[in-house]
Amino acid sequence: MKAWIWKGVDDLVLDGHYPDPDARPGWVVLKVLAAGICSTDAAIVSGRFDAGRPPAVLGHEICGRVVAVGEGVTAAKEGERVVVETSLACGWCPKCRSGNKHLCREAGEIGFPPYDGGYAEYVAVPQGCVRRMPDVMTDDQGAILEASICPFGRIYRDGLRPGATVLVQGCGVGGLSFLQAAKICGASKVIVAARNVRRLETARRFGADVTVNVKDEDLESRVMEETGGEGVDLSIDAAGAASTIDAAVRYCTKGGRVMLYGIPPDDVPIRLPVKDMLFRQITISGGTNNELAWVPLMELIAAGRFNNRDMVTHRFAFDELPQAMRTVSERPDGLIKAVVRMEG
């Protein structure tokens, strides 16, 4: 089969004779239909993110069709179209049994060494990692679902008080997913802050009640104006900058919650206002993944309540993967999510 092999910094090679995966017991083989390009993958290829040692087949945002099933498989049938929930774990420890297998001591992930991912014609995954897609979802929507699972899953897991006010800093795919999840869960007002005018326009289309261009407006003044001087009940950082993390805490109401999602560069020092956190009793949490959220999110997409169709803004043929990686790294105006399609 054809597969893109990550061999080192800025070194992606298309191998036309990579070994086909086997349908071993408990696993299924998928023909990849489309794969999302995560900014993490682009950072791995460029050497800005450490994800283990090459060579490897990357790609952890996968939509595929089941073409073979191993012995003992009951969760999938040949011909079904599925998305891949990529976390791997032991399945037996307390973390796994509580729906937190990504916290398992033996955790791994499809698309990260040593597990081959979706930048290939075929990929093998455990049967517990496949989720059947609703017929109304496109391959592209399935390919980028993982990008929304982490934000949506945080709200789904932690809950949100109906009528709460929410601040989201950053409006890439993470910010847009947090925005929609908050509205679905009953937020009365969602404020989205960013520096890019076009992205703020997109946030309004996705349901933001208030948008703030932080290049032209003072965010603290707007937040306090919109919340009667109280601050927001839930403050989300989906940008990953030192300044936005600090602001996420400072603009939160007393007794409120802060969710950290954006990943700052390793060389950027982060200083949290600890005294402020203590005396105002702010709860701060971080997190990725949520295996329990995949089916509910697809149901919401199928019902037209969560829009990930319009998140796909750039499409590439499979042979154009290096170009797709460069595009994601350069973050052109208008980019939300890019996908590669096996059929072009």
> How open is the CA angle 259-287-178, to the nearest 5 degrees?
50
- pTM attached to this predicted model: 0.94
Question: What confidence score (pLDDT) does residue 271 get?
Answer: 86
3-state secondary structure at position 29: strand
> Are 98 and 90 spatial neighbours (Cβ–Cβ below 8 Å)?
no
User: Do 3-144+308-341 and 149-286 have matching folds?
Assistant: no
The per-residue pLDDT for 168 is 98
Round to whole Å and give the CA distance between 141 and 144: 6
Question: Residues 126-152: pLDDT tens digits?
Answer: 999 999 999 999 999 999 999 999 999
pLDDT at res. 166: 98
Q: What is the CATH number of domain 3-144+308-341?
A: 3.90.180.10
How far apart CA 37 and CA 106 sit, in angstroms, is 26
CATH class of 149-286: alpha beta
Distance CA 194, CA 110 (A): 32
Q: What kind and span of H or E run contains 175?
A: helix 173-184
Q: State the pLDDT at residue 290.
A: 86
Tell me what pLDDT residue 94 has: 95
For residue range 11-69, list pLDDT tens digits in order: 999 999 999 999 999 999 999 999 999 999 999 998 888 888 999 999 999 999 999 99
Query: pLDDT value at position 266?
Result: 77
The domain ranges of the chain are 3-144+308-341, 149-286
pLDDT-flagged residues of the chain (< 70): 344
DSSP 6-23: EEETTEEEEETTPPPPP-
Q: What pLDDT does 50 receive?
A: 84
C-alpha torsion 93→148→151→85, nearest 10: 0
**pLDDT number for residue 51:** 80
